[in-house]
Amino acid sequence: MNRTMRTVGCWTMLALAGLLLWPAQAQAEKTVLRLRLDGPIMEAPSDAAGLLALLTEKETHTLHDWVTTIRSAAADREIDGLVLIIEFPEMSFAQVEELTQALKAFQAKGKPVYCYLDYAGNLSYALAAAADHITMAENSDLGIIGLHAEMMFLKGLLDKIGVEAELLHCGAYKSFIEPYTRTEPSPEAAENINWLLDGLYDRWVQMIADGRGLSTDEVKKLVDTAPLSAEQALKHKLVDEVSSFPAFKKMVYKEFGKDVNVLKRYEDGEGIELDLNNPFTLLPQLFELLEGGTQPKEPGIGLIYIEGAIMVGPSDESPFGGKTAGSTSLRAALEEARLDDDIRAVVVRVDSPGGSALASDIIWKAATRCGEEKPLIVSMGGVAGSGGYYVAIPADTIFADPTTITGSIGVGGGKLVWKELMEDKLGITTTEFSRGKHAGLMSFNRKWNESEREWITDYMNTVYEQFKGRVIESRGDRLKRELEDVAAGRVYTGEQALELGLVDQLGGLSDALDFAAKKAGLGQDYEIHITPKPSEFAAFINFLQKMAGEDGSDEFEIALSARLRSDPLLRSALPLARELAPQQLTELLRQLHNLMILHREHAACFMPFVPRVR
């Protein structure tokens, strides 16, 4: 071989070596996804919440958004890990379950999850426990103090102001009337609350134990000594490191490389990408959004949300919280899904404590019609009880999270009598004039007479028998006990409900969607058709939020409010200031809302009491 040929050969070998090395060098830069959980995690998309978020410069995300993002990132070969910053998210126990399952699916792909906490309470820590590594702020504390439930009773107040509750119920455990008629829970109500808390507590402890590789007995002992300082949490292996947020960032760089690419917003390629550096492209992109450019163009699964108190009429929502699930809107959505050929199966996500018995039955009929033509699957969220269970039972299959609160098959009805308050205390007198035997049935000025009480009792019994009849019609062959043994207002966790045959499988919304896609014969990459379709206003809000750009220049940044929590005393007091008063007010508003429905419809299907896990 001559010198020229040897030289060419050497260059050829070097070129080949370069080609072989090039992919490895190109892949040296790693990418991690950063997710920051703070504020409410919504169930359904919300125009009002989106507007409020825009005005307050905060992002809003649904549970489905978060879970889909994590699952998509798990399947994305360009994503190497996840950085999870947990601040003060407002989420239900069931939402923690579903986020935890998404994180586990991410880790199953061999991708680690790193978590940072300034402070953690019961639910935020249960979620953090799923991470591979937890860093907690110095001088912080871990508030895993156990589950606490408070049931508010209004009878003492009513007695003081001269208002008498005239209320009846069907089912010994149907205790939603007790706050107006008692000053403490009945034995049945106390039994039910303790039954629920036992199930929730055991599941909560198990989640922490599984995440941290501890026994349940070890976790229970630590709970009984909490709150724990950050150093104590480190000593007992509840966290992996105690340090500052800058130190946490340095650790991430050390693990993934100094050139790691940090994504604060994840796009899977299906949405419309906004070029914020070119203002001339924004207007055409806005028109594309408003024309439904982000709507699915292929057959897929219909997704319908039943969220909030169930009422007759259209659904409604407030920018400051609170939604109602209107029978008129939901009947139309179910009909739209039934008639749309591109929707091959329907998933109904229920997160509702019930409400109007009439509205529940209207939705039940629409769901039954839809289920006769297409696979109908229900996914239960944090609460799906009473009327929320009523609207779920037409499904072929019901999924519930282990900590979903459901059941409460029963009926209540009645009114408040204001006569003593008006006449004796305020000096306001009323004279009534009526035509018709029962014209004054719901009068606030007097109690029922014998004929009226007999009528309201018969009416409530009729509604209760109808409710039980719907359950037998939909689930009779799947119940593990006689219906009366699981009805009468009894409330269960999802895990308990599965044992009784009230639900079919444990799992979250993603599990229900995958199951529906399989039944419909769709592939793994199916489209989701949210019904009713998001409004043009929602698309416009989404456009404006994207135009607002990313929040801050730091690739990992935490919220300003979290930075201000550096003082240990302030950090300890903040959870109480944020949560105690709003919880009490929320309960009062819920009670007043229930009374409004009772006054209009005489009987209703409400959850008696929903423990709130802090």
Coil/strand/helix, residue 84: strand
Query: Residue 327 catalytic?
Result: no
Catalytic pick among 124, 356, 379, 386: 386
Q: Are the beta carbons of 72 and 343 closer than 8 angstroms? A: no
Rounded distance between C-alpha atoms, residue 90 and residue 136, angstroms:
19
Closest CA to 530 of 349, 283, 403: 349
Q: Are the beta carbons of 500 and 395 closer than 8 angstroms? A: no
Place of tokens 């007043």: 592
| Percentages of the chain per state (helix, strand, coil), in multiples of 5 | 45, 20, 35
Rounded distance between C-alpha atoms, residue 372 and residue 611, angstroms:
35
**Sign of the dihedral defined by the CA atoms of residues 369, 371, 376, 382, in that order:** positive
Query: Residue 174 catalytic?
Result: yes
**CA 605 to chain centroid:** 21
Catalytic pick among 111, 174, 374, 546: 174
Coil/strand/helix, residue 242: strand
Rounded distance between C-alpha atoms, residue 573 and residue 575, angstroms:
6
Rounded distance between C-alpha atoms, residue 126 and residue 206, angstroms:
9
The one-letter amino acid at 405: I
Residue 493 is given by DSSP the state E
Place of tokens 């897929």: 300
Rounded distance between C-alpha atoms, residue 112 and residue 240, angstroms:
14
Per-residue burial over 45-58, b if 16 or more Cβ lie within 10 Å, else e, is bbbbbbbbbbeeee
Q: Are the beta carbons of 134 and 240 closer than 8 angstroms? A: yes
Rounded distance between C-alpha atoms, residue 586 and residue 361, angstroms:
26
What is the set of active-site residues? Answer: 174, 386
